């Protein structure tokens, strides 16, 4: 993943570690899903999105896993870049990689119990290290002290737990001898960087990528998501050009993916065209949640925000910026209220386990979704305007009010006056009373209800739930 979160939502500027090439435009939210709204012809490659990919918009919540040699360094997945390691100096992590406590079924169980429905694992991150027994490189897990494939057990475990299977594959490779040194490469500041690039052939590297993607998409059965990362064609550093569509040979790579796995969902970081005739299949804002739903050429798109529990993607032993329970839940709520999915990351330790802080965060999601899951799964945005401090999701005639900031006794909701037939807290099915515009109230102590307004009556004390949800059942 990248080092920085993008903040300029309407640009295509490159900054260190980040490029964004889509535009966030204000849109009027619809109850239709993305699959309902976008014609088949608008999807990149002309693929039909209706059947094999509809699960994505229903499931809403997945787990990202960043695992590699950097877990041993335990101080950031961009360790090799940040500290400008040479290949020789970085070799110590390869020579000592032995995740002896790795239990793929435990990973999958943790994901399922957290309420996640799919998982995406870094088959290869920017360091170039491969978690499977690739036949086109020696830089792979089966040549480490661990000596065993990690990907096969991962895939089997997800399927056993009823989860969808995803792979992340880095377009960058700081180990491969044909990958030209650029502004993201660990050797970017080497005094002879240009000379070191002599003889490096990015077209050979592009073929290497296709060979590896072929392995991943043929050796492990049906794969549901592939997450390529990332392109930066406008990033020039000390005369070293960035990389994009032409370097990756993205058109050929996409054709290969479509040939091998027709129903797979492909991320949007290959630097392919983006317009009404070439809609990205999955827009992927990173480390932020858009203020409005992303669009391309004014059309809605399938999208997924990816976030971390803390400030890094890989395991970081001394990290202190872990999100609290409210932040974790509200990131999910905010995302689904705009029609998106959330991919939340875990960075396993060098021994292959989830550390206690990650488990605590996963348990936070699991407990909240156990009680409030029907406000998330299969739900999406609503056309009703949520009050301040709240978000709406909706599924059919059930409207879900997520109360992120607890008010004193009442919430006033525009546009819902006389429109609901029942109200309850979702976590315990306890009834809530409300006032419609024609309700009789005491002029001294009562609450005046304006025309078109629904006023919910709430307890003074917030229920013992991270983010309480009110289920409003609309009249037919």
Q: Which domains does the chain have, with CATH numbers?
A: 14-375 (3.20.20.80), 390-474 (2.60.40.1180)
| pLDDT bucket at 52, cuts 50 / 70 / 90 | confident
pLDDT of res. 173? 99
Q: What is the pLDDT of residues 396-445, one digit of tens each?
A: 999 999 999 999 999 999 999 999 999 999 999 999 999 998 777 666 65
Q: What is the pLDDT of residues 196-229, one digit of tens each?
A: 999 999 999 999 999 999 999 999 999 999 999 9
Share of the chain above pLDDT 70, in %: 88
pLDDT of res. 226? 99
| pLDDT bucket at 85, cuts 50 / 70 / 90 | very high
As a whole number, mean pLDDT of residues 377-403 equals: 98
pLDDT of res. 474? 99
| pLDDT bucket at 450, cuts 50 / 70 / 90 | confident
Task: Evaluate whether 158 touches 165 at the Cβ level (below 8 Å).
Answer: yes
| pLDDT bucket at 20, cuts 50 / 70 / 90 | very low
CA 229 to chain centre: 12
Q: What is the pLDDT of residues 156-197, one digit of tens each?
A: 999 999 999 999 999 999 999 999 999 999 999 999 999 999
What pTM does this model have?
0.91
**Range scoring the smallest mean pLDDT among 30-39, 112-121, 461-470:** 30-39
**Whether pLDDT at 34 is above 80:** no
**Whether pLDDT at 33 is above 60:** no
Higher local confidence (pLDDT), 145 or 436: 145
Share of the chain above pLDDT 90, in %: 86
Q: In the chain, how long is the greatest CA-to-CA distance?
A: 85
As a whole number, mean pLDDT of residues 302-307 equals: 99
**Whether pLDDT at 447 is above 90:** no
Higher local confidence (pLDDT), 123 or 45: 123
**Whether pLDDT at 22 is above 50:** no
């Amino acid at each position: 993943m990248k080092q920085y979160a993008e903040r300029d939502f309407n640009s295509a500027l490159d900054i260190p570690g980040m490029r964004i090439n889509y535009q966030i435009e204000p849109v009027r939210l619809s109850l239709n899903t993305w699959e309902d709204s976008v014609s088949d012809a608008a999807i990149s490659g002309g693929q039909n999105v209706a059947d094999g990919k509809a699960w994505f918009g229903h499931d809403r919540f997945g787990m990202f896993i960043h695992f590699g040699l950097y877990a041993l360094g335990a101080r950031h997945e961009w360790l090799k870049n940040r500290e400008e390691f040479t290949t020789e100096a970085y070799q110590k992590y390869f020579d000592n990689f032995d995740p002896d406590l790795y239990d793929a079924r435990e990973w999958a169980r943790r994901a399922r119990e957290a309420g996640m429905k799919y998982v995406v694992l870094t088959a290869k991150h920017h360091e170039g290290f491969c978690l499977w027994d690739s036949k086109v490189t020696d830089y792979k897990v089966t040549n480490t002290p661990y000596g065993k494939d990690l990907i096969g057990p991962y895939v089997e475990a997800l399927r056993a737990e009823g989860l969808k299977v995803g792979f992340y594959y880095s377009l960058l490779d700081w180990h491969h001898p044909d990958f030209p040194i650029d502004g993201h490469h660990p050797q970017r500041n080497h005094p002879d960087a240009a000379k070191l690039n002599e003889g490096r052939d990015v077209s050979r590297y592009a073929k290497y990528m296709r060979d590896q993607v072929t392995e991943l998409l043929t050796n492990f059965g049906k794969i549901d998501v592939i997450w390529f990362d990332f392109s930066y064609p406008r990033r020039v550093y000390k005369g070293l050009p960035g990389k994009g569509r032409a370097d990756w040979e993205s058109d050929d790579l996409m054709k290969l993916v479509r040939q091998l796995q027709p129903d797979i969902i492909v991320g949007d970081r290959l630097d392919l065209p983006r317009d009404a005739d070439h809609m990205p299949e999955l827009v992927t804002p990173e480390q932020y949640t858009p203020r409005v739903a992303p669009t391309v050429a004014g059309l809605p798109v399938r999208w997924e925000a990816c976030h971390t529990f803390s400030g890094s993607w890989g395991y970081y032993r001394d990290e202190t910026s872990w999100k609290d329970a409210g932040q974790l839940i509200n990131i999910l709520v905010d995302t689904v209220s705009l029609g998106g999915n959330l991919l939340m990351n875990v960075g396993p330790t060098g021994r292959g386990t989830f550390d206690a802080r990650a488990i605590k965060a996963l348990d936070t999601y699991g407990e909240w979704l156990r009680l409030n899951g029907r406000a998330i799964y299969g739900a999406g945005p609503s056309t009703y305007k949520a009050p301040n401090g709240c978000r709406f999701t909706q599924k059919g005639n059930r409207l879900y009010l997520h109360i992120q900031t607890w008010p004193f006794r009442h919430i006033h909701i525009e546009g819902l006056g006389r429109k609901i037939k029942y109200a309850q807290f979702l976590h315990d099915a306890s009834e809530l009373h409300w006032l419609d515009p024609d309700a009789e109230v005491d002029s001294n102590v009562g609450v005046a209800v304006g025309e078109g307004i629904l006023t919910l009556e709430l307890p003074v004390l917030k229920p013992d739930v991270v983010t309480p949800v009110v289920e409003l059942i609309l009249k037919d």
